[in-house]
Amino acid sequence: MEYLNILIIVLIAFLLIQNFLPVRGVKQISTEELKNELKSKDKQFIDVRTPGEYKGRHIKQFKNIPLHLLKQNANELSKEKETIVICQSGIRSMKACKVLKKMGYSNLTNVKGGMGAWS
């Protein structure tokens, strides 16, 4: 029974770590670096927060596609353009990058710290 408890703890720890680790092949930028990127017309900007969070405060270049709707709305995005993804803290945007990567998007950038770090 003790081995089972240890196994469960290890599994939970592994799953938690997986959620917070950067995705291989996804660029990480700070909100300071994002300010330079916002001028580019060659990039697409996606905010994966809820519509309520987005309405409360957002960056005008970002289109709101909530994380739970990303798969069915990914056809609105170009696979050729760099996709810069933001959320409130950087965790949901990292999950969104994982989803998009599995769907064949390769030029992905996550904003570290998300809107919580934006000033």
The answer to whether residue 34 is domain-embedded is yes
Residue 65 in domain: yes
Contacts of 68 (CB under 8 A, 6+ apart): none
User: Does a structural domain hold residue 59?
Assistant: yes
Q: Which CATH number does the domain housing residue 111 bear?
A: 3.40.250.10
Domain of 39, in residue numbers: 24-117
Q: CA–CA separation, 46 vs 14, rounded Å?
A: 28
Q: How many CB atoms lie within 10 A of CB 117?
A: 16
119 residues of the chain, pLDDT tens digit each:
788 888 888 888 877 666 656 667 899 999 999 999 999 999 999 999 999 999 999 999 999 999 999 999 999 999 999 999 999 999 999 999 999 999 999 999 999 999 999 98
Q: How far is CA 22 from CA 13, 38, 53, 69, 75, in A?
A: 16, 22, 23, 22, 24
CA distance 45 to 83: 6
Candidate list 86, 87, 100, 115, residue with the active-site label? 87
The model's pTM: 0.82
Number of structural domains in the chain: 1
- Note whether residue 19 is domain-resident: no
- Indicate if 97 belongs to the active site: no
